[in-house]
Amino acid sequence: MSARHLYVHVPFCARRCIYCDFSIAVRRRLPVAEYLAALSREVARTGLPGDLDTVYLGGGTPSRLGAVGVAALAALLGLRRPPAEFTLEANPEDVTAESVRAWATAGVNRLSLGAQSFDDRVLTWMHRTHDAARIGEAVAAAREGGVTNLSLDLIFALPEALGRDFSRDLDAAVALEPAHISLYGLTVEPGTPLFRQAGRGELSPTAEQRYEEEYLLAHERLTAAGYVFYEVSSAARPGREAAHNRGYWTLDPYLGLGPSAHSFDGVTRWWNEPAYARWRTELEEGRSPIAGRELLSDRQRRLEETFLGLRTREGIVLPDPCPAALRENVGRWVAAGWAVTEPERSRGPDSDAPARPPVRARLTPRGWLRLDELVASI
């Protein structure tokens, strides 16, 4: 498989956050050696490309592996050259100048910090294991340790009863001057502590109007601060976009290792057993940890290309000739302020592009809020 991107899922967490429905394993004491032994077996079964553009250690909380664990994980991948982008997801409490130096020596050159909020009351409600002050300390420690390409995660659209000031959180995030900021609207997923709270009537779901207001406020504030929204939930300084995530949105082949990890070779998508214990057992007993596969039809691929294209700043090029229904729908989006259209630029004076350039459609921030609805309409 000629994948250029590798994702490794590290499932361990100190506790489950109130909103989390990811495949995690809550452990007080981490079975680092056990996990790495299973991962080594999966690497041997799979065979990794020696040259990768990006590596992403996600979770879970990969930073809980510590300096030695992350270094051991990087070593067992057997990369022939350092990838241009090697991201480690980290909780602020795990980040010290010493740990960052060790991670950097192992090849890590980008940290994604799970900040989520700068309000201590909100962090406690979320079941986060850090306080607001620790976020700034982690950013300073990362830079001192030699990793300056930093991303912060923020969650918006929290229940109104919490009294969270999202504007203040945006100001605090911008003041730390990270290269990248990711925004996630709170959703109530089945099986999460938040879902159980909602079922008991202990909180009211966030109103759509509040969700929209906070999302648009983020666009306004971050754009004014010099960030560019290159994707529906991601803003970056120019040149600091996440190359790994861009690979997903452009349907590049990618390989996933670890429990619940997904892979894609351009035609087929497959995914691993989600539970850590089951994934490990399958590998220990010499079996594949793959839980399922999906062969994409031409129609499915076109749909994914449309959806993923519209969630990015680049948008999509409309077909020529454009079906009447699609042309009418896009015209309706433009009239509502949900999209803009413009002629696709030619490739230069010597281009053999047609005399009438094709049309590119891009969603506006208000359109991104309706992404699922708009794709369904076409």
Mean pLDDT of 280-300: 96
Query: 284-289: long-range contacts at Cβ-Cβ below 8 A with a sequence spacing of 24 or more?
Result: 284/38, 284/41, 288/45, 289/42, 289/259
d(CA 244, CA 167): 29
Residue 351 confidence (pLDDT) above 80: no
**pLDDT band of 106, cuts 50, 70, 90:** very high
Can you state the angle between helices 32-46 and 276-284, rounded to 10 degrees?
Answer: 60
Give the pLDDT of residue 1.
64
Give the pLDDT of residue 134.
97
Give the pLDDT of residue 374.
92
Mean pLDDT of 220-242: 97
Q: Where are the domains of the chain?
A: 5-249, 312-377
Sorted by sequence, the CB contacts under 8 Å of residue 74 that are 6+ apart come out as: 55, 86, 106, 107, 108
Q: Considering the chain, what is the average pLDDT of its residues? A: 93
CATH code of the domain made up of 5-249: 3.20.20.70
The amino acid at residue 27 is: R
